């Protein structure tokens, strides 16, 4: 699967038991060198450690490593809610996401809850979201930012989160062989950026 094709796939691919969904995303030149990949990783590490704004780091991650972005969404949710959250907790969380937005931006709460619950193990809910709407990417971005913004993980916890992203992506690749290349690329770039 080419990098460009991978770029067209995102968050829903990593919903446990879910199927790959096509989403609209901003295109960029994927002929990047190792240095720019390392910059994306360095920004993410810095953001997770609390030294950089999370939302700024997410833009680079979503563009260059969309599958890792999806895995980070799942990891953030599991970190925040655990593996068996109360639906009321998710509803309250989505309410908080919507309340934090600018007045002009609306967050469809029912869809946002479905995306989050889907990523936490109820894929049939997320499957009902209109493909290509981009709402899953927006919910993922808001969720990751909300969970990690202001949380200073430190170096060890940051590496734990990145390891969890790699494991989540690798597990998804066993269900969806078409993303195996993305999982290998992420792992290689992460390893090279750590050197």
At residue 135, the pLDDT reads: 76
Distance between CA atoms of residues 134 and 33, nearest Å: 28
Residue 47 CA to residue 56 CA, distance in Å, equals: 8
Task: Give the pLDDT of residue 195.
Answer: 54
C-alpha torsion angle, residues 74, 75, 77, 78 (rounded to 10): 110
Coil, helix or strand for 6? helix
Residue 73's closest CA among 61, 85, 89?
A: 61
Render each residue's pLDDT in the chain as its tens digit; 195 residues. 333 333 334 444 454 444 444 333 333 344 444 558 888 898 998 888 877 778 778 888 888 888 899 999 999 999 999 888 899 999 999 999 999 888 878 888 889 999 999 888 887 887 777 776 677 888 889 999 899 886 778 888 989 999 999 999 998 888 888 888 888 999 888 888 765
Report CA 119 to chain centroid distance, whole Å. 10
CA distance linking residue 161 with residue 45, whole number of Å: 10
* Residue in 8, 11, 63, 13 with CA at minimum distance from that of residue 180: 13
Question: What integer pLDDT is reported at residue 71 of this predicted model?
Answer: 92
Helices (H), 24-152: 34-48, 54-64, 66-81, 87-99, 109-119, 123-126, 135-148
Q: pLDDT value at position 24?
A: 32
Nearest CA to 151 out of 49, 44, 40 is that of 49
With b meaning 16 or more CB within 10 Å and e meaning fewer, what string describes 47-86?
bbbbeeebeebbebbbbbbbbbbbbbbbbbbbebbeeebe
Name the β-bridge partners of 22. Answer: 9
Q: What is the pTM of this model?
A: 0.81
State the Cα–Cα distance between residues 80 and 66, nearest whole angstrom: 21
Q: Where are the alpha helices (DSSP H) in 149-194?
A: 154-175, 180-194
């Amino acid at each position: 699967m080419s990098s460009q094709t991978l770029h067209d796939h995102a968050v829903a691919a990593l919903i446990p038991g879910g199927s790959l969904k096509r989403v609209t995303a901003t295109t960029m030149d994927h002929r990047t060198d190792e240095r720019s990949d390392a910059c994306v990783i360095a920004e993410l590490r810095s953001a997770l450690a609390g030294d950089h704004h999370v939302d700024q780091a997410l833009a680079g991650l979503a563009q260059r490593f969309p599958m890792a972005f999806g895995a980070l969404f799942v990891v953030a949710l599991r970190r925040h809610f655990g593996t068996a959250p109360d639906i009321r907790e998710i509803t309250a969380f989505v309410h908080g996401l919507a309340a934090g937005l600018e007045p002009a931006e609306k967050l469809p709460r029912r869809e946002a809850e479905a995306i989050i619950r889907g990523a936490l193990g109820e894929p049939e809910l997320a499957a009902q979201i209109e493909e290509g709407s981009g709402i899953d990417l927006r919910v993922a971005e808001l969720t990751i930012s909300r969970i990690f913004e202001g949380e200073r993980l430190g170096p060890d916890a940051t590496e734990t989160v990145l390891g969890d992203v790699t494991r989540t992506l690798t597990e998804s690749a066993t269900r969806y062989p078409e993303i195996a290349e993305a999982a290998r690329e992420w792992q290689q770039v992460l390893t090279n950026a750590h050197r």
